[in-house]
Structure 1
Amino acid sequence: MSTSRASLTLTLLQARESAMRFFRPQLNLHGLTEQQWRVIRILRQHGELESHKLARLACILKPSMSGVLVRLERDGLVRRRKLAEDQRRVLVSLAEKGEQCFESMSVEMENNYRRIQQQLGPEKLLTLLELLQELKGIKP
């Protein structure tokens, strides 16, 4: 008789969906996709980044990142520039409108984090974040 083990990957996806229910209404209000918001948030946190590093940090495949950046640049939220010494390398930074977007959304996004913390409790949320950080670091 085999025992059924809970699926880590499925549980993580389901937990992500539960968490995103707090944030999607705000994203929709600003006309942003989840991927676009991740890019804005990472650029706000790290400053200008090479597009391949940005893709890795945002967990967006490089081909998809290209489309995300085209739309963000079209909407005036990010700027892209090629390095003079290597035209293949592209640096991405937040434009002023992207900074303003982040600022206008940050209060409500922080309120959503508070709502999650109220339901989980501060200790459980901290433990969850620590365990997820640890999980990110394990090697196959």
Structure 2
Amino acid sequence: MNKYETVKLEHLLWINIVQTRHVMNRLWERRMKESHLTTEKFTVIHELLCLGGESTPHNLARRIVFEPHSISAMLSRMEKDGLITKTKDLEKKHMVRIKLTEKAMDLYPKALEISLEIFTKLMEDIPREDKIKLSESLTQIRNKVLAANPAKGKKLTPFKYT
């Protein structure tokens, strides 16, 4: 074993997080092609559903970890794909409202089914208590990173689990 194969525990944790995310995301994206949604589009649709099906780009950007300029470009692509509509806010003329279309609402259940199938299978051998502890630890790490980020103001969706 060479000296570079011994790392601090925090470094090993980071390596494991990155590698796991990469492998899981590749598998997920391959399967998501069946639903015709990318990771980002699925995330936006899910968040818009949490917000009642419509919102403003600013509010949406505050609730997910993507950067505001990324959200704007993504929303333009989603509008072109017929997944959302953009309209001027009648009260605040400079503000845009986004709303899910029927097409997005039709694609989402299949995408969610694929997601649940993949992640349930990948994690079926991990005891529930371990999953809860891991989720709590990752949430703590994420929140600390968000707090240290100079672009503060994120108010992520307070997800609960069953």
Quick one: distance in 2 between partners of 1:13 and 1:64? 21
2:82 counterpart residue number: 76
Quick one: distance in 1 between partners of 2:21 and 2:62? 18
Q: Which amino acid aligns with 2:71?
A: M
1:44 pairs with 2:52: no
1:11-69, Cα deviation, whole Å (9 max, x unpaired)? 43323213313411222223322211111111122222220121232322222222211
Q: Which amino acid aligns with 1:64?
A: S
Say whether the 8 Å CA contact 2:35–2:110 is kept in structure 1: no
1:84-134, Cα deviation, whole Å (9 max, x unpaired)? 222232222211111111012222211112112214332222211122222
Quick one: distance in 1 between partners of 2:121 and 2:26? 11
| Structure 2 counterpart SS, 1:92 | strand
Over the matched positions of the two proteins, sequence identity in percent amounts to 25
CA distance 1:57–1:14, change in 2 (3 Å): farther
Q: Which amino acid aligns with 1:106?
A: L
Structure 2 regions of 5+ residues with no counterpart? Answer: 1-5, 149-162
1:134 pairs with 2:140: yes
CA RMSD of aligned residues (A): 2.2
1:65 pairs with 2:71: yes
Quick one: distance in 2 between partners of 1:34 and 1:108? 12
The residue correspondences of 1:94-113 to structure 2 (distance < 5 A) are 94-113=100-119
Quick one: distance in 2 between partners of 1:36 and 1:87? 26
Q: 75-84 or 113-122, which moves further after superposition?
A: 113-122
TM-score, normalised by the number of residues in structure 1: 0.81
Counting strand residues as a fraction of each chain, which structure ranks higher?
1
The residue correspondences of 1:19-34 to structure 2 (distance < 5 A) are 19-34=24-39
Higher relative contact order (CA 8 A, sep 6+): 2
TM-score, normalised by the number of residues in structure 2: 0.72
Quick one: distance in 1 between partners of 2:15 and 2:48? 29
- The partner residue of 1:12 within 13, 17, 35 is 17
